[in-house]
A and B are shown apart, each in its own frame.
Chain A
Amino acid sequence: MLTNFQKTKILSIFTAIVMLIANYMIFFYLPQMRGGAGELLGSSFKIFYFHLPIAITSYLAFFVVFVASILYLKKGTHNWDVLARSSAEIGLIFAALVLVTGSIWGHATWGVYWTWNDIRLVTSLVLFLVYIAYLMMRQAIEEPEKRARLSAVFGIVGFASVPLSFLSIRIWQSYAHPLMFGQGVQESGGGLEGTSLKLTLIVNFIAYFLLYATILAYKVQNENIQEEISAKKQSLE
């Protein structure tokens, strides 16, 4: 039987390979993109293949936080808290990357880094802020049991507010939204119709899910080791 350490090692090697393939496909396998009028789209569009998988992965990470928080409150098992904490940290990194890649792409296609007119931009920012608050809260509490319990409550409340923010931001600027984002993705004639494009996107999705899983596995392992050490330290004192 393999130990946990060997399993994560195999997972990380596998992730690295898929990641390399995914990047190779983006830069060498993809054909030139053409816009609706047949004009060549710049290579800036390629960032889409990072951007979308990262965004979906960050949602997944926060959903894991939500589920782990509920299970922690229900079962009281320590492992769920470790999972929630680890997933929140990784999700926050992915959410930050979403904002960064989105801004870069926005600058290339719309000419501005940030606009308050796009619902998805503002929602991602709100999501990012909610989980920054989550991690700040974890830092503010010393006692492990209390920290786990209180942050589980906030993990549930925070996640529930996100779909509502999406709706409310839509009300806020329903008139300005439509054109902005669509142009690069769905509406620019042939957008994502080719097989090679879809394949690249799928491979990238798999690559980023695997990346998330690998980091999560390492993070959970680290947290467990850390706790083992502090427990041993305490028994020595």
Chain B
Amino acid sequence: MIRSLHIAAKDLKAEFRTKQMLNSMVIFSLLVIVIFSISFGDLLGDSKIVSQLAPGVLWISFTFAGMLGLSRSFASELENGCLEGLKLCPVDRSAIYNGKIISNAVIMFLVEIITVPLFVVLFNFNITGLFELAIVILLGTIGFISVGTLLSALTVNTRTRELLLPVLLLPVIIPVIIPAVVATGKILTNGDISDISGELRLLLVYDVIFFVIAQLVFEYAIGD
């Protein structure tokens, strides 16, 4: 555990020196929101339609921005043979996975903390259940990251890694996107925690199942 924290700390340190990934992810998720607002155009005048569209837009922007980060997560280790160095560390392979999950999740949360207020402003929302929204985003992001990190490690060894990651990731994360969008929609229309218990349970199950599967197979994904 402490070792995975070391790996996460190393990643975050490297990230905060350049802020390369964080900046592009934030700008990208903002751009997604803007493009959606423009393409929906007149529909956004009606507050009823907005509350139906908005959760989807929010999660699309998280997903795309997250994908951007994930595709760099292991690819950045390729330079100067860092991945080999990481594999040579006297730690369990799953410690690398856990470390990467932690660093990816922290970066995702930062992006989300910046995106949500912008989203509230641009879509004229008044979020009442901020705590519930935080839980949904937390669980959704953990599920997304735990599969995404595994697939990022999987695709890093292939030639077309930037192309392959979205193709592999999107069908597999459908079960986490759907409940997250539904739950977000319910919160935005003043639902409370009892309204979203079904979705939360599904998100939790997804997180646990994929975290465990990824722990078991990560060793094979990253290679010898």
Q: Residues of A with Cβ closer than 8 Å to B?
A: 73, 126, 129-130, 133, 136-137, 140-142, 146, 149-150, 152-154, 156-158, 160-161, 164-165, 167-169, 171-172
A87 to B24, CA, bound (A): 41
Chain B residues near A161: list those with CB within 8 A. 147, 171-175, 210
Q: Which of A150, A157, A167, A171 contacts B158 (CB 8 A)?
A: A150
A157 to B159, CA, bound (A): 21
* A73-B217, A154-B154, A160-B210 known; A137+B164 contact, CB < 8 A: yes
Chain A residues near B173: list those with CB within 8 A. 161
Q: Does B131 contact A (CB under 8 A)?
A: no
Q: Does B202 contact A (CB under 8 A)?
A: yes
Chain A residues near B116: list those with CB within 8 A. none
A-B contact pairs, 23 of them (CB 8 A): A126-B171, A126-B174, A133-B171, A133-B172, A136-B167, A137-B155, A137-B168, A140-B163, A146-B157, A154-B151, A156-B213, A157-B147, A157-B172, A157-B214, A158-B172, A161-B172, A164-B206, A164-B209, A165-B178, A168-B175, A168-B178, A168-B202, A168-B206
Interface of A, secondary structure class, is helix
Q: Does B86 contact A (CB under 8 A)?
A: no
Q: Known contacts A146-B223, A150-B158, A157-B150; can you find 11 more A-B pairs with CB under 8 A?
A: A129-B171, A140-B160, A140-B164, A152-B220, A157-B172, A160-B210, A161-B172, A167-B202, A168-B202, A171-B179, A172-B179
A153 to B167, CA, bound (A): 15
* A136-B167, A137-B164, A140-B158 known; A160+B209 contact, CB < 8 A: yes
Chain A residues near B151: list those with CB within 8 A. 154, 157
Contact B171 A164 (CB under 8 A): no
A157 to B160, CA, bound (A): 20
A156 to B93, CA, bound (A): 19
Contact A149 B223 (CB under 8 A): yes
Q: What's the interface size class on B, roughly?
A: 35 or more
Interface of B, secondary structure class, is helix
Chain A: CB-nearest residue to B161: A140
Q: Does B134 contact A (CB under 8 A)?
A: no
Chain B residues near A141: list those with CB within 8 A. 157-159
Q: Residues of B with Cβ closer than 8 Å to A?
A: 147, 150-151, 154-155, 157-160, 163-164, 167-168, 170-176, 178-179, 182, 198-199, 202, 205-206, 209-210, 213-214, 217, 220-221, 223
A136 to B151, CA, bound (A): 14
B17 shortest CB reach to chain A, Å: 31
Chain A: CB-nearest residue to B198: A171
* A73-B217, A152-B220 known; A130+B147 contact, CB < 8 A: no
Contact A153 B174 (CB under 8 A): no
Chain A: CB-nearest residue to B181: A172
Chain B residues near A158: list those with CB within 8 A. 171-172
Contact A157 B210 (CB under 8 A): yes
A141 to B156, CA, bound (A): 11
